Structure formats: C-alpha cells, structure tokens
Structure 1
Amino acid sequence: MGFPKGRRRLVVAVTVLLALGAVAGIGYRVLAPAEVSTPAQAALPPVGTPAIGVVGRLPVAPLVVAGRLRVYAAERQLYADQPADSRNRVTPFWSYRRWPAQLNGVLAAGTTVLSRWSDGRLVALDALTGRVAWRADGPEPGAGSTARRTGAATVWNPAGISVTPGPDGGSVLVVSGQGRLHGYHLTDGRELWRVDGDPDCRTDLGTTGAGQAVSVDSCAGPTTVEFRDVATGTVGTRWRPPDAGDRFVVTPVGCLTPRSQCRGLRTAAADGSGGRGWLVGPGDPVAAPALDAADSTLAGELAVGDDGGVLKGREARTGKERWQRGDLGPVRILATEAGRLYVLTEQRELVTLDPVTGAQRSRFPMTVGRDGIGWKPGLAYASGGYVALERLREAAGPDDDDQGYFLMAEPVVLAAT
C-alpha cells in the first residue's frame, strides 16, 4: 500500500528541495570567496653561508628573503620553502592562498612580503612566519596576470607596485591601477593618500630612491614627467627634457627592483630613438650622457654598459671612464645590487664584479649537471648575493607556449656568489 497520489508528490518535492539545498551548500563551500593561511609551524634555521657556485635548479622563480628562505608565486597562492640554498624546491614552510582572486604581483621589502591580487586586495605577510601582517583594498590591476609557469614576471617584475623610503624612516608602498594611484605605509597598511587619473594618458612608472612616485602624463598637453611626494601624494616637480617633442617614452634605470627606488631615467622618442639618460633626485633630473645607451645601467654610482665587447664603468654625468674589462667578451648585464654587478658571458659563465673598480669577485659556469650551455637567458633576479635566472630555448619566441619557451621542466637556475 503506497502513499496517496498528492502526498507522494509532496514527498518527492521535499526530497528534491533537500537535494538541491545540499548541492548548493557544497557548491558554496567550494566556490565561495576564501582565504587560507597556513603559517610556519617551526622556527627558521640560522642564516647559512652557501658555497660559491650554482646551488641548484627550480621549476619556479624564487624571491630570496633575509638569506634564509625562498618565496614563490602560484596562480592563487603564495608560499615559501627553506633554507635559501636548498638544491631543489621542498615542502612549503608556510603558505597563503586566496580564492577566486588571482595573484597579480609580489615584492619583498625587508622581511615583509607584499602580495597584490586581481581584485585589488593587498595582503602583507611576515616572511619569516607566513602570518598576515595587514590587509587593505587598493586599485584593481586591470589586466590579468601575464606570468608564465615559472611565475618570474609576478615576483621579479611586478607591475603597479613599488616601494621607497618615507619621511619618517619607514617605507611607503605605491600601488597603481586603472588610473588610480595610492600610497600606503608599508608597516601597517595605513592609506596615506590617493589620486585619480585617466589610464589612457597617464602611466605610473614606479618610485625613486629620493621618496618620489614617478608618472608620465600626457592628458592635458605634451608629455610631462611628474614627481610626486610619497608622503602626501602631491606633485612637487613637473619636468620635460630640453628639446623634447610633444610625445616621448620614459624608462626607469638603476632600480632596486624593476620599479622601486630608481636612481635614473632614460627618455627616448616614441619610436625608441634618441635615448638620453638622466639621474633623478630632489629637483629636476640631471643629464647623464653615460646612460644614453639602451643597454647601460646604473651600478653603484657608475653607468655600466657593453661597448663593442668591452664592459666599461663610467661616471654617469661626465662619461669619464673609471674601469674596463675586455677579457669577458660580449656580456649581458643580469642584475645589480649593493657592491655587486652580475654579468653573463657568451660561455654562460656568471661573473660577479665590484661595480666601483670592476674587480672580479667570483666567476663560475651557470650550469647544472649535464644541462649544457645551449640556452639563452630570460628574466633574472638578485638579492643578498643570490642570483636566479630563467633559461630559455635558443629559438624561443614570445608567442611560444611554455613547453617550447623554457629549456626544461626546471628552467630556473639559482646560484650563490
């Protein structure tokens, strides 16, 4: 004997509703916005002294923090391993994940690791523990992440985030996106100022070592470079190179990271011709002819560049030669940091030079095992005497997929100098 027809329909309807509710609950738990923080469960080991030479190879690009650990970026995750000179990537020491936002950029300042996400959220972590130090809302990046599978573009060349010394001895974080520019106190995430603009005619370049945010503005007339006080957000200097045309392009030079604490600029015509170098600081930029060449950079107080297979260090303002190295052959300048200039020879040797004298500090093949030298360098990074470098296939082009672009599954080589 069954249920009456009307009652049977009611039971079926209730069963369906309960099933739909269960599915909805599961879906919400899976798809709802979420933050998962997994701090370190153990203390960091003391700082080691790695042997000079290649440490090992990695599948992803690291940020070396405090000489003790390495920080990596994934699509929706930031994580670290240790020690810094581990030959391979090991079990995460700490991890931080957000959903559904994507990780857009990362930078390290001291022991603070700042992450920027596709929804504009800013999250600062204590690099030594992985614990969240602060969170803040910022301008959305606009464009999605363009990082390849190594994540190098996210951690070594983050767009729209930079730091610089503030007037109180702390650091100021400058974040730009979709025409908006914000300044934050790096210690606690407190917003100091914000300005709005038109993303179609203003480009925010980064920060200088003199506590300024630099933008290129062409909204109201000819292209002009603006230097903004990072403590207040107000423009202190508006500048155009002498004899410049109505439109020109500007490239930061001699930066701590690609966009932080830059000490120079290079201006050029819209087609890239007629490059001119400048030193930046308080007041108007000062001409630095030794920085005119597109492949020159600032290393310490000198402009360094390859001159016909001879690496030369010159005074930036006068062009007076201070040293030269003709024994290295053609080189690519990979990176600079305090007291170190890193160059790669055609034989794939990493040479570390004193930027003041050009004296050699270390030299060794940038190779691992039987990997050989049949590759070309990609993005590079240096911090605390460590150098990391992407290795690309010799015929790799920007339109190739990752399989055809990178040399192998572990394309990043890490070395201690």
Structure 2
Amino acid sequence: MRRIFTALFAIVVLSAMGITSYRTLKPAETVSSAKRPVPSPEPIKSIQYAELPSAPLIVEGRLRVYTEQRRVFADTPVTALREMTPHWAYRRWPAEVVSVVAVEKPASGVGMSVVITKWSDGEIVALDAEKGDIVWQARIEPADGETFKGRRTGAKTLYEPEDLFVSASAIDKQPVVIATGKDTVSAIDPADGHLKWTKSFTAQPGCRTNDWTGADAYFVKDTCSKPATLEIYDAGTGVMLNTWRPPGASIGPDNVTNWFLEPASCQLGRSGCAVFKAAPTGDVVSFADAAAGVGTLTPTYWTLGADHLVRPEPVADKDTIIVVGDTIAEQVTGGYIWAFSRTTGQRLWMSEVAGALIGGDQRNMYIINKEYQLLVLNLETGAVTSSTELRIRPEDKFVYNEYYLHSGYLVVERLQTTKESEIDDKYYFSMNTVVLVGIG
C-alpha cells in the first residue's frame, strides 16, 4: 500500500510539474506599456553620450528602441549615459524577432510614430513608439529559416533588416512598409496596418530573394528567368513599372545568367536606396581590387528615373558612394572624398582629410578617420565643420561593421574583429560595445 501511495504521489507531482511547465512556456505575448510621458528632444551636441550594451534605433530624437531574441523594448532619453529601465517592452514566445523598422510621424505632427516588428512565425506587430501599445497586427507566410540574427547587440536586426523595408507612395508621399515572406510580398500602411497590395510568387518558389526599396519603388530580382530579370514595382500600388537587365546579359552558366546586382547608398539597410550596381555576369570584382590588378570587370551604377526608366550613373566608379540630391560623394584611394554633380559630372570639391565615408544628408557628408573621430563635411564645400571623438578612452582601438546615422546621432557597434565566426567575448569590443555620439 505504501508503494502504491508513493507511486501515486510521484504521478501527481510529475503531473503538477507538467502543468506548471506548460503554463510557463506556452506561447505568449506580453505588453508592458509606458507609465510616463516621453520627454522632449534635447539639443544635440557634438559629444559622446553613451556606451550601451545594445544597439538602438532612434525615434523622434526622444526614444531608443532595442531588440533581443524575443523582446523589443525602448528607453529614454536618447542622451542617457547608460541603458535605462525600459520605458515600454513587448515580448513574444516562442517566436524570434527577425526584423525591426521605425516609421516616424510626418512633420505635420499628425498621427503617431510606430515601431514595426516582424517575427519568425510570420507575425508583423506594429507598436506605438511612445507608449508601446499594439497598434495593429498582420501576418505573412515566413520564409524557411527566419530567425534572430542580432547576436548580443541586435544591431544586424535593426540596421540590416532582411524582410522589412520602408518606402513611400509616389502619389501622396506617405510611407509604405514592405514585408516579404515565403515567395510573397505585401505593402502595408504603417499608420493602421491596411494592406495596400500583395503579390505571390509561389509559381516560381525561391526565385526572388534579392530585393530592396528606393524612394518610391520596390526592386526584386527574378533569378529563375534566363537571364535573370530585375522587376521594379511602384511601392504605393504594386503596379509593375519596368523590367530590366544590364546590357550584355545573356543565357549561359549560372555565374553568367544570374548576373551581379546590389543596391547602394541606402538610408538604412536595404531601404531607400538611391542607386544600384549591376554587371552582365556574376564574376565581378570590386573597384579597389581592379585598381590593384585583381581582375578587370567591375559593376556599373544605375538609377531609376522619374519616368521609370533605368539610366547609368556615369560619375560613380568607386566601391563606396553616397548620393544626396544632385551630389554624389565617392571614397577614392587613400580614403579621401571627392564630390561630383550627377548631372554635369563636374567635380564639386575634394576633402582635405581622409576617412571612411559612412553617410550623408541634405547638409553634410560624414566620415570616420583613423583616429576614431567622426568628421562632418559640408555638403557644398567639403570643409570639415565639426569633429566628435568616438573613443571613450585614449587607448581604445576597434573595428566596426554596423553603424547608424539618424536625427543628429551616430551609433557605432565596436568590434575586436569582423570575423563573425568568433564567439561574442572575442567578437565584441567590450560588454558596453555600442557607442552613441551627437552631431551638433
């Protein structure tokens, strides 16, 4: 009898443990909304502001948004020295965060800024950037193998989202979020989640994985056509605007038929790309390698005109370029920057300093020099107007892959090496490996 009682007791205990495990680990969605208002943006100074363990997206100059494997959260203010107690947080389980983008409210101030998150189970969840509340939810069939790729800081998930893109309607200039999944693409109104258009490519599975957006267009390469074809769609309506192949593209082996294609001068990740580069074969080399005598075939830069025709960018002939309006800046041998007019080809200025060209806007071009300083170059003259130290300590030495320019701030994810196979302790520069500085 005692043995029977003991066995029954064990069954009860194990059953209780099973129920507890289910209640703890069952799929869940948790929202921790903001309990206080968001402070107004602070005046930005050309100084170091913070060392952070995670990489932030900056929204309205008031919030820092971060991501982990199963959680997206925000803190404030942007200039806080360290990561603060979450202002809001959103968590799902067992799905993983795949991509995050932010769409800020228009300059008119009408509406709200939203943080749009895509998850490994195909859920797309838009959060009120100020409060963290769910604004709308949608779903797209996820592609195989979608998973969190942000490692410890989340930088790749935030700064290089692979299947969430931001563009705008050519008609009313309102923002459009484009989400891709398994052989499908959908365009969504970020304000209310309204589906603007969708396309299915299931008749040709796996053929359209190389894609990006321009200012008002969605570009996707069909690798199953022979030779491959670039399809260009209106971001606001989904109407096909054009199809294109580089001159000389032909049928042949895969390395020829699947010719080289890559976007360039993008606002963030593969969103808002001003130009792209292409070649009639996949066997191309970088401009730097060609200059060093390692191969000869380099790509050509192209752009989509207002008439939806693809035209070459004859001035662009370097690996790193930034396009702002009619100005195109290129990094030349030695790290110096030359700027040209896109329409006339005339050289506008040459920088007096060298550095890595990382971005530009309507006022400036930005470079990081060998002394770990952010240098601001005037867009019209190339003159250095300010500099900001990226080192926290004079002895700091680091490399970087991921950086982010937005709203007068620069974020750099500092690394010990760019070898991604290294474990985190040898890959990242430190525990607080992300540095945030202002651009005054």
The reply to whether TM is greater than 0.5 is yes
8 Å CA contact 2:100, 2:157 repeated in 1: yes
Q: CA deviation at 1:234?
A: 3.1
Which residue of 226, 244, 259 maps to 2:270?
259
Closer, same or farther: CA 224–130 of 1 in aligned 2, 3 Å: same
Amino acid at match of 1:182: S
Identity of aligned residues (%): 29
Q: Deviations over 1:48-74 (max 9, x none)?
A: 113212112111111111001101011
8 Å CA contact 1:71, 1:78 repeated in 2: yes
Partner in structure 2 of residue 72 of structure 1: 66
8 Å CA contact 1:142, 1:178 repeated in 2: yes
Please tell me the root mean square deviation across aligned C-alpha atoms, in Å: 2.1
Closer, same or farther: CA 148–300 of 1 in aligned 2, 3 Å: farther
Partner in structure 1 of residue 39 of structure 2: 45
Q: Which runs of 5+ in 1 are unaligned?
A: none
Q: Deviations over 1:71-102 (max 9, x none)?
A: 10111000111100111111111111110101
SS at match of 2:262: strand
Q: Deviations over 1:208-239 (max 9, x none)?
A: 11x21100112232111111122332322101
Q: CA deviation at 1:28?
A: 1.6
Partner in structure 1 of residue 292 of structure 2: none
Partner in structure 1 of residue 227 of structure 2: 222
SS at match of 1:101: coil
Q: Does 1:276 align with 2:278?
A: no
Partner in structure 1 of residue 134 of structure 2: 132
Which residue of 80, 92, 113 maps to 2:115?
113
Partner in structure 1 of residue 194 of structure 2: 190
Q: Does 1:160 align with 2:163?
A: yes
SS at match of 2:266: coil
Partner in structure 2 of residue 376 of structure 1: 399
CA distance in 2, matches of 1:28, 1:291: 58
Runs of 4+ residues over 4 Å off in structure 1: 11-18
Closer, same or farther: CA 22–293 of 1 in aligned 2, 3 Å: same
Which residue of 318, 323, 340 maps to 1:298?
323
Partner in structure 1 of residue 178 of structure 2: 174
TM-score, with normalisation over the residues of structure 2? 0.87
8 Å CA contact 1:174, 1:206 repeated in 2: no
Q: CA deviation at 1:181?
A: 1.2
CA distance in 1, matches of 2:276, 2:269: 12
CA distance in 2, matches of 1:169, 1:318: 28
CA distance in 2, matches of 1:114, 1:16: 47
Partner in structure 1 of residue 290 of structure 2: none
Closer, same or farther: CA 91–154 of 1 in aligned 2, 3 Å: same
Q: Deviations over 1:185-219 (max 9, x none)?
A: 1111122222222453223412111x211001122
Which residue of 29, 32, 35 maps to 1:35?
29
8 Å CA contact 2:401, 2:418 repeated in 1: no
CA distance in 1, matches of 2:385, 2:319: 26
Closer, same or farther: CA 225–314 of 1 in aligned 2, 3 Å: same
Q: Which runs of 5+ in 2 are unaligned?
A: 105-112, 251-256, 286-297
Q: Deviations over 1:8-67 (max 9, x none)?
A: 95x778656644442232122111110110011001112111321211211111111100
CA distance in 2, matches of 1:32, 1:164: 36
CA distance in 2, matches of 1:51, 1:220: 52
SS at match of 2:100: strand
Q: Does 1:354 align with 2:382?
A: no
8 Å CA contact 1:291, 1:297 repeated in 2: no
CA distance in 2, matches of 1:193, 1:217: 19
Q: CA deviation at 1:373?
A: 4.2
CA distance in 1, matches of 2:346, 2:247: 23
8 Å CA contact 1:164, 1:208 repeated in 2: yes
Partner in structure 2 of residue 340 of structure 1: 364
SS at match of 1:333: strand
CA distance in 1, matches of 2:402, 2:158: 11
